[in-house]
Amino acid sequence: MKRALSVSELLSQVKETFEFREEWQDAFGSPETVGVWFIWGNSGNGKSSFVMQLCKELCKYGKVLYNSLEEGDSLTMQNSLKLHGMMKVNRRLNITSESITVLSKRLEKRRSPEFVVIDSFQYAQMSYRQYIKFKEKHKNKLIIFISHADGKSPSGRSAKSVMYDAALKIWVEGYKAFSKGRFIGSTGTYTIWDKGAEKYWGNQ
């Protein structure tokens, strides 16, 4: 049985965090560099653009692996990479399209990427039990799940459970990303595309 920690022992632990700046700090504060993040939103609201911008930001802190289960190496993926200038992080961003089993084996290797994006949770076809097993196996990684939405909730029971479990929950709507999790900056909001956000929220 694992020994229980005292309050002082727990508080003395030093956690590694992202030292985000400017709009990233305003939206998400300084979240821990490991754990689970969950991003969801309806199609056409800027979710894919936000994920690319996030990947570029994370590349400042380490290597990112993007598991593109939905789009693979399709033309739409190529266009998205070009649109967001991802060649600037060419050496720190790798893209694959593989099952969770194969991905898990990859993450076990030495010098594997610190951060992994799984797009999408629905295409990964994971049950909540499988998610817990995967998360526990890779505690030393930051795992980011992208999810479809059903209204304003993640699509599917398992996805909803993962959302509740995630440390950082990010809802995307009208070209803005909203922090709904345990890490929130001064505004809790990140603007993905100024003109799109102005057009959408100006009519609210």
Residue 6: band (very low, low, confident or very high) from pLDDT cuts 50, 70, 90 = low
Q: b or e along 7-43 (b: 16 or more beta carbons within 10 Å of the residue's beta carbon)?
A: eeeeeeeeeeebebeeebebbbbebebbbbbbbbbbe
**Burial environment of residue 61 by CB neighbours within 10 A (0 to 12, 13 to 18, 19 or more):** middle
Residue 71: band (very low, low, confident or very high) from pLDDT cuts 50, 70, 90 = confident
For residue range 131-163, what is the model confidence (pLDDT) as tens digits?
999 999 999 999 999 999 999 999 999 999 999
H/E segment holding residue 194? helix 194-201
Pairwise pLDDT comparison (34 vs 12), residue with the higher score: 34
Q: What is the pTM of this model?
A: 0.92
Cα distance between residue 195 and residue 145, in whole Å: 27
Residue in the structure block whose two tokens are 């694992």: 2
Pairwise pLDDT comparison (72 vs 124), residue with the higher score: 124
DSSP annotation of 28: H
How is residue 57 written in tokens? 């930001």
Alpha-carbon distances, residue 7 vs 11, 15, 122 (angstroms): 6, 15, 39
**Burial environment of residue 64 by CB neighbours within 10 A (0 to 12, 13 to 18, 19 or more):** buried
Spatial contact of 106 and 112, defined as CB atoms under 8 Å apart: yes
pLDDT recorded at residue 4 = 81
pLDDT recorded at residue 197 = 96
